């Protein structure tokens, strides 16, 4: 079964093939992470600066040629529906965990990039001790400098689904370029 097909079975509203050629890593996205908008910057192994420089992330991404892009779309009661946003995020993270688990059975060195920093442990060990679950920890698309709206647009799925909706997007890079043996998790910088 194709991963896109499996993603739809798991419940993602959108799933498409992702071309690595479309991925541009932008310093501006890293600057947004560092600006304090995300409270996890500098606090998790999954997030900058611990997840590696943009150059290191770019090298890692370029060892792949294809992947899958998935999205969960939630319907909100109004723009202040914080519970709806958090419910959609939880659903997305759960779906993505299931998809990644399945993908890793056949593609152990695939590279998943999720939505938001790693929240697996209530207290991250960063920076004093190594990550507790290095093979389960996932960085976000933003941590890698990816502008999610740009990635969606270039790969043919909407980023915005209209008023009263919220979307969470993640991807898994799956298909290695010929001759690449880079292991996405064992060779963290
Ligand atoms: S798995 Fe735990 S220790 Fe590792 S990055 Fe996530 S929160 Fe931190």
Decide if pLDDT at 188 tops 70. no
**Which of 36-50, 136-150, 151-165, 173-187 has the weakest average pLDDT?**
173-187
Pocket test for ligand 1, best of 43, 47, 100, 132 (most atoms within 8 A of CB): 132
pLDDT at 39: 86
pLDDT at 181: 54
Q: Are 23 and 9 in contact (CB under 8 A)?
A: no
For the CA of 123, the nearest atom of ligand 1: 7
pLDDT tens digits along 51-84:
999 999 999 999 999 999 999 999 999 988 999 9
Question: Which one has a higher pLDDT value, 113 or 180?
Answer: 113
Question: Which tokens in the block code for residue 73?
Answer: 């779309």
pLDDT at 182: 45
């Amino acid at each position: 079964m194709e991963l896109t097909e499996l993603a739809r079975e798991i419940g993602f509203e959108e799933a498409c093939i992702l071309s690595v050629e479309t991925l541009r890593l932008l310093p501006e996205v890293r600057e947004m992470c560092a600006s304090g908008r995300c409270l996890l910057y500098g606090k998790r192994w999954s997030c900058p600066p611990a997840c590696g420089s943009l150059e290191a992330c770019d090298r890692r991404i370029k060892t792949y040629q294809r992947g899958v892009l998935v999205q969960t779309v939630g319907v909100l009661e109004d723009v202040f529906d914080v519970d709806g946003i958090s419910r959609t995020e939880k659903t997305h993270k759960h779906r993505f965990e299931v998809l990644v688990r399945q993908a890793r059975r056949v593609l152990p060195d695939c590279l998943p990039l999720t939505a938001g920093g790693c929240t697996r442990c209530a207290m991250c060990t960063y920076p004093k001790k190594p990550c507790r679950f290095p093979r389960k920890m996932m960085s976000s698309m933003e941590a890698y400098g990816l502008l999610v709206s740009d990635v969606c647009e270039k790969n043919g799925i909407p980023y915005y689904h209209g008023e009263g909706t919220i979307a969470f997007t993640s991807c898994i890079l799956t298909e290695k370029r010929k001759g690449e043996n880079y292991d996405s998790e064992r060779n963290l910088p």
